[in-house]
Amino acid sequence: MSPGFLAEIVDDVRRSSVQDGRGEHLPPPRTSRPASLATAVRTERERGALVVEYKKVSPGQEVSRLPARTIPEFLRTTDVAGVAGYSCLATRPRFEGSPDDVAELARSTGRPVLYKEFVVEPRQLEIAARSGAGAVLLIARLEGTGLLDRPLKDLAHRARELGLEVLLEFHREAELSVADGVEADVYGVNVRDLDSLTLDRPRALATVRHAARRGLRPLLGLSGVEGPEDAARFWEADADGLLVGTAVARASDPARFLSSLRRAPLGGRP
């Protein structure tokens, strides 16, 4: 059986990191603490927190190349929607992301920024801190796969030493047990199965409900939000916020699209 996407992209990331000496030109981490993603999501959860992702390519889509927008254009068309924060791809293989993109975004906004990467080693965390991001993604699926240089709990501890919050991502309910040993500040459930790149909404929504019952907060729905109906399913499952990227990039009016995803005024939280 051929390896899944997650194993392949981790291998690509390792090779790319060695080849391009990524992050070496970035400045030392700033001494002031970046804006908190966890706080922003908690503050916005009553109306549905929105974290918007800057990305150029979306693997798994029929047309993976997204409409080109510079970071200033991206911010200009999304910030007016009153988003809670931003996410930015730092992965070069297949995503064409870069720590430089994260650094430019972090310099250009006062909102929290998530460093989105397939993190497997401490050096990536150091680059994330130097980029000016306030949070970094760790993927529960990687625990126990042999793809990590350090256990997730050690990576999370190092992230916090560097002043980074941790967003711990799940897909299946079975992965939630990883949260017992990993210090995290935000939790998220990815609709996309990272082995096959297929969208599995029923599985993800079941995982959101289970995570909410376990008190894993604040809790984000990640990926797969193409319109208000998809957003509503996450609100009904008791998510605090959404991370959206591909649909925003393709929207002719990003601010209007984002506004359509908000929690209904009378929907409230139970």
Q: What integer pLDDT is reported at residue 68 of this predicted model?
A: 81
State pTM to two decimals: 0.93
Segment 224-257, tens digit of pLDDT: 899 999 999 999 999 999 999 899 999 999 999 9
Residues 6 or more apart in contact with residue 161 via CB below 8 angstroms: none
207 confidence band (pLDDT: 50, 70, 90) = very high
User: Average pLDDT, stretch 148-175?
Assistant: 96
| Size of the chain, expressed as the number of residues it contains | 270
> Mean of the per-residue pLDDT values for the chain?
91
Residue 153 is encoded by which pair of tokens?
Answer: 């709990």
Sign of dihedral through CA atoms 161, 21, 15, 118? positive
Q: What integer pLDDT is reported at residue 57 of this predicted model?
A: 84
Using the predicted structure, report yes or no on whether residue 129 has a pLDDT greater than 60.
yes
> 36: how many CB neighbours lie within 10 A of its CB?
17
Q: Rounded to the nearest 10 degrees, what angle do helices 122-131 and 152-161 cross at?
A: 30
Domains located in the chain, CATH noted: 35-259 (3.20.20.70)
Q: What integer pLDDT is reported at residue 143 of this predicted model?
A: 94
With contact defined as beta carbons under 8 Å apart, do 97 and 91 qualify? yes
Residue that has been written with the tokens 């720590």 in this structure: 99
Residues 6 or more apart in contact with residue 9 via CB below 8 angstroms: 91, 93, 94, 118
Q: What integer pLDDT is reported at residue 3 of this predicted model?
A: 64
Using the predicted structure, report yes or no on whether residue 266 has a pLDDT greater than 80.
no
d(CA 148, CA 146): 6
Segment 69-126, tens digit of pLDDT: 899 999 999 999 999 999 999 998 888 899 999 999 999 999 999 999 999 999 999 9
